[in-house]
C-alpha cells in the first residue's frame, strides 16, 4: 500500500555541526536500509529546499507511522502524508 510523504526538515540554526552531521548520517543509513528493504519506494529531493518527496510501500497506517517516527530527523521534520490508491489509467 502506497503513501506519499512530503517532508520538510527544519534544523535549529544553532544546532552544533557535529550533532547535525550525526543525525544526517544516521538518517541516511536508515533511509538506505529502508530503500533496500523496499519500504521506502522512492526518495526525491525538492529542488531548492531541504525537503523531500517520498513514496512508502507499507502494510498499513501503523507501519507507516512506526517507520516515519523512527527516523532520526523526525523531531525536526514537518511531514504531510497522502494516502495513494491505484489510478484507473495507470498501466
Residues of the shown chain interacting with its own copies in the complex, contacts defined by CB under 8 A:
1-5, 11-15, 27-28, 31-32, 35-36, 42-50, 52-53, 55, 60-62, 64-66, 68-69, 75-76, 79-91
Nearer to its own copies, 21 or 53 (CB): 53
Q: How far is the CB of 22 from its own copies (least distance, A)?
A: 15
Q: Which residue has the cell 498499513?
A: 60
d(CA 55, CA 42): 5
Q: How far is the CB of 21 from its own copies (least distance, A)?
A: 13
Closest to 73 measured CA to CA, from 4, 5, 2: 5
Other Cβ atoms less than 10 A from the Cβ of 54: the count is 20
Amino acid at each position: 500500500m502506497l503513501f506519499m510523504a512530503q517532508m520538510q526538515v527544519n534544523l535549529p540554526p544553532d544546532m552544533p555541526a557535529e550533532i547535525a552531521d550525526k543525525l544526517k548520517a544516521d538518517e541516511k543509513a536508515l533511509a538506505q536500509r529502508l530503500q533496500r528493504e523496499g519500504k521506502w519506494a522512492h526518495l526525491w529531493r525538492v529542488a531548492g529546499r531541504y525537503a523531500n518527496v517520498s513514496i512508502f510501500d507499507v502494510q498499513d497506517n501503523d507501519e507507516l507511522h512506526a517507520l516515519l517516527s523512527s527516523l532520526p530527523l523526525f523531531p525536526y521534520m514537518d511531514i504531510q502524508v497522502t494516502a495513494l490508491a491505484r489510478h484507473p489509467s495507470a498501466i
